[in-house]
Amino acid sequence: MTKKTAEIGILLGSKSDLALVKKVEEVFSFFDVSWEISIASAHRTPGDVVAYVKNAPRRGIKVLIAAAGLSAALPGVVAAHTHLPVVGIPVNAGSIGGLDALLSVAQMPPGVPVASVGIDGVRNAALFAVRILGLVRSDLAEKLEAWSKKESEAVRSSRSGIEGLPCPPDKAFTEE
C-alpha cells in the first residue's frame, strides 16, 4: 500500500472499522498524499498504540487519524501521546448510532485536542488531514482548489436530474 514514507498515519480500533475507513483512499489518491493504515486498540493493545504514536514523528508522519466506535478512547489516547495534530473519526459500531463514539471523541478535556469529525465522517477526516498537510506542502493548494471545483460541479450537474418538477433557470444561481 505505502509507496513512500507515510505523511498521514491512520489507526483503527478494530478490523471491523476498516470497511468504512478505507474510503479515505479516494481522497488521498486525488491529492497524491502518502498514507498508511493499521489496527491498534486503546483498550485491547494500549501499548501498541503508544509505541506507534511515539514512533510516528521520527517515521515522517505529520498528521494522525484515529477511528473507533463504542466507547471510543483511541483518538484521545493518541492525542495524549503526541503533539502531532489528531483527527478523530467516531464510528457507528453499536446500538446507539455512533453517539457514544461521537461524545467520546469530541468531549476531550482541555489541553488534549482531538479534531472530531461527524459520525462515520471519513471523507471529512481525510480532507481535514490534507488541509493540515497543506501547511507544509504548498503544492496541495492547487489540488484543494481543484477538489472544491469538482464538488461544485457535481452539485450543479445534479440539478438536471430533477425531473417533472418546476426548477429555476441556471442564471438564477449567478449573481448579477
Q: Which amino acid is at 15?
A: K
Q: Are strands 115-116 and 86-91 parallel, antiparallel or unpaired?
A: parallel
Task: Kindly state the number of chain residues that form the binding site for ligand RP5, as judged by CB under 6 A.
Answer: 10
Q: Which is nearer to ligand RP5, 14 or 116 (CB)?
A: 14
93 binds ligand RP5 (CB under 6 A): yes
Q: Which of 5/16 has CB closer to ligand RP5?
A: 16
Q: Are 129 and 86 in contact (CB under 8 A)?
A: no
Which residue, 44 or 156, has its beta carbon nearer to ligand RP5?
44
70 binds ligand RP5 (CB under 6 A): yes
Tell me which stretch binds ligand RP5 (CB under 6 A): 9-17, 82-90, 116-124, 153-161.
9-17
Site membership for ligand RP5, residue 104 (CB under 6 A): no
Other beta carbons within 10 angstroms of residue 3's beta carbon come to 8
In order, the DSSP letters of 19-34 are HHHTTHHHHHHHHT--
The CA–CA distances, whole Å, from 44 to 32, 73, 122, 125, 154 equal 33, 11, 23, 24, 42
State the Cα–Cα distance between residues 79 and 89, nearest whole angstrom: 13
CA distances (Å), origin 17, targets 10, 120, 167: 11, 10, 41
Q: Decide whether 11 or 140 has the Cβ nearer to ligand RP5.
A: 11
Pick from 8, 21, 68, 126 the residue near ligand RP5 by CB under 6 A: 68
Cβ at position 114, least distance to ligand RP5 in Å: 15
Q: How far apart are CB 45 and ligand RP5 at their closest, in Å?
A: 10
Contact footprint for ligand RP5 (CB under 6 A): 13-14, 16-17, 41, 68-70, 91, 93
